[in-house]
């Protein structure tokens, strides 16, 4: 079964947001290579008024993560431990992790 992970960000000129966004994309691209059953999508909104256009997004705090159209974070990024827990619960039990 393929898991669909969608990260939603607001496009801001702030350097911090750009750095975090690019770092997260890099980390998740590596994760996807190790876990081929994870499908990644990044949605970058131009402004907060577009939040209502994202199916499954219930709490309008960004950044947000949806897994299989269910919101699992709001206003924060998941920790490494959270990501490992989600992967393990979705069938990645035979995968070794660098903790």
pLDDT by residue (tens digit) across 25-48?
A: 888 888 888 888 888 888 888 887
Query: Burial, 41: exposed, middle or buried (Cβ in 10 Å; 0-12, 13-18, 19+)?
Result: exposed
Please indicate whether residue 99 or residue 15 has the higher confidence score (pLDDT).
Answer: 15
pLDDT at residue 92 in the model: 46
pLDDT at site 32: 82
DSSP assignment of 71-83: EEEESSPPPHHHH
What's the mean per-residue pLDDT of the chain? 78
Which domains can be identified in the chain, with CATH numbers?
A: 3-89 (3.40.30)
* Predicted local confidence at residue 97, as pLDDT: 37
Per-residue pLDDT tens digits for 85-96: 887 776 544 444
* pTM given for the model: 0.74
């Amino acid at each position: 079964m393929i898991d669909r992970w969608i990260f939603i960000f607001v496009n801001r000129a702030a350097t911090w947001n750009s750095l975090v966004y690019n770092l997260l994309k890099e980390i998740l691209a590596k994760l996807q290579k190790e876990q081929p059953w994870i499908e990644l999508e990044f949605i970058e909104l131009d402004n907060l008024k577009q939040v209502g256009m994202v199916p499954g997004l219930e709490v309008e705090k960004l950044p947000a993560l949806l897994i299989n159209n269910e919101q699992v974070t709001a206003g924060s990024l998941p920790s490494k431990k959270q990501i490992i827990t989600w992967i393990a619960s979705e069938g990645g039990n035979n995968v070794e992790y660098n903790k």
